[in-house]
Structure 1
Amino acid sequence: MRATTEQQVKYLQERLWKLLEEVEQVVLGQQETVKLVLSAMLAGGHALLEGVPGLAKTLLVKTLAQSMRLHFNRIQFTPDLMPSDIIGTEVIRQLPDGNLEVEFRLGPIFANLLLADEINRTPPKTQAALLEAMQECAVTYAGNTYPLPTPFFLLATQNPVEQAGTYSLPEAQLDRFLLYLKMTYPAPDAELEVLRQTAVEHFHEPEAVMGRDDFVAAQECAQKVAVDERLIVWVHECILQTRPQATTNKNIRRWVQWGAGTRAGQAWLRVAKAHAFLSGRYSLALEDLHFVALPVLRHRFVLNFEAQAENISVDDLILEIIHA
């Protein structure tokens, strides 16, 4: 942690804890999800939030933007959305001297925090418009490349694929998401508190508690978290165990079509380091790897048709691997 002083690092962690507290006062009963989303952002990655309507997915993203003074844009994905509606388009404008010139008009993707709401409501062609932005933090239009603002985070929400009018995200795009989170209903006491606040129309208004520059500095600190060689070897072994041709697990050989790639291990370490820093530690612990394992891995290997017919759970297979 030599790039910043110990006092500066402590200040950044306190800002992050205040940010967590601020978001959790608005989004009640989703503490684990809030912490995982913030860990993904600290790791410089993107997150996909899945859940039925009404679980505060959109509210979570908007609250993060307000609490961090980030330039925020929202795209509501619909079946007729076009790629140009996301990245922008070229328009012809007339200059004062009467001449015409072609100008690129920036789309809503040019933001620090982009909410892609109900991303699986739009066809794959439009979904693919996000691929370059997610990987390169830039977009290309008509042969010209335009960099996106720094930092850039894409937080997407989607409804379960069983719902009508949805399009499954292609594997290449799913792999660009650092985390794939499945939001569940809040605990009964948290849900009751939401209803109480609704009854009296009293909701917490989020305050800006952390600026963009501080968050970028916190990202740099998070990636300097120390990692023991034994944990790196353990992560590698877990990744190998997801692959049918390399595993010793009979369930993986039977149910999995293909396993996680190298990027899965990289993503696992990055987000686990961010979680460790968010938890006040400067070295990675096994508990950090366990905490983020499901959202890091569940979208990075594919079950075969037999497993799908038998309703085999990817999450159960992951837990079997990491607790072996």
Structure 2
Amino acid sequence: MRTRPVQVVNRAEPGVRPVKPNLKLNLGLSMVVGLILGLSLAFFIEYLDTSIKTMDDVERYLGVSVLAVIPKGAKFLSQDDPNSRFAEGYRILCAKLNLTGARSSARSITVLSGGPGEGKSTTTFNLGWVCAQSGMKVLMVDGDIRRPNIHNALKIENTLGLGEYLAGQASLDELIQSTSIPNMEVLTAGNLGPEDLGGFSRARIASLLDICRPNYDVVLFDSPPVLGISDASVISQEVDVTLLLIQHRRYPRNVSQRAKRVIEDVGGKLFGVILNNVNIKTDHPVRLQKANPKRWRATHIHCESRPGGA
């Protein structure tokens, strides 16, 4: 009797789980690789981003102090919400400019930026608003005749204004309007555009300030971007103080550096920088304050200034 060369020891059974692919292993490796690639991409994008991100960036690349940090989402302030959380940053700015107390002549100020859309009109209006709330008599001048906006904040007509004054078509008494905000008057941009004026006249801006100084505590100019438009440079030459507004993470830092050079080249008195549109909660607050928490507390909006004062 022959024996079988092959003997069945155990009957083969199909596996409960497939040998390949190893789902858990592959999923774990994918997550690790994805995390590494994501972090690498984030660091690479951050490396390529040369915009202004911190107060130290302002001081390192521009050599100018930050006067105030304005949070993201700031709108035109209104009488309906005088204690808005956004108002505090502008009160800090007003205090830094030392605009309180009786003055024999006005303090004239312009807010400039390197590029469009950085928030000049909002900043200028809100600074004037908190000054007026503190009892100062304020004249708001819309110096951006290309893209006027101050009349929208005040909800008034922009029929005649600065353009007509510069062209010699009307006097300031005819052009300055009262507003619904106590202690604030306004000179809107008017209807004459740059093609009608051929540029701002430095002599006429100087004349405007000479007329207004005895009558107001503060004269505030909203201005166009300083790069590529001469109007802002003319205003900067004549006012007492120029403030450079930089929108957080918007433009490469060389835009702000060029804006600073233009202001200095025309003889403008650059007083400091306002860092605008900062996401205080999520945009690296530690990096914003860096190693100087005292300076951070003195410039960001949660400072302990009282809502009623400047």
Structure number with larger C-alpha Rg: 2
TM-score by length of 1: 0.33
Structure with greater proportional helix content: 1
TM-score by length of 2: 0.34
Q: Higher RCO, 1 or 2 (CA under 8 Å, sep at least 6)? A: 2
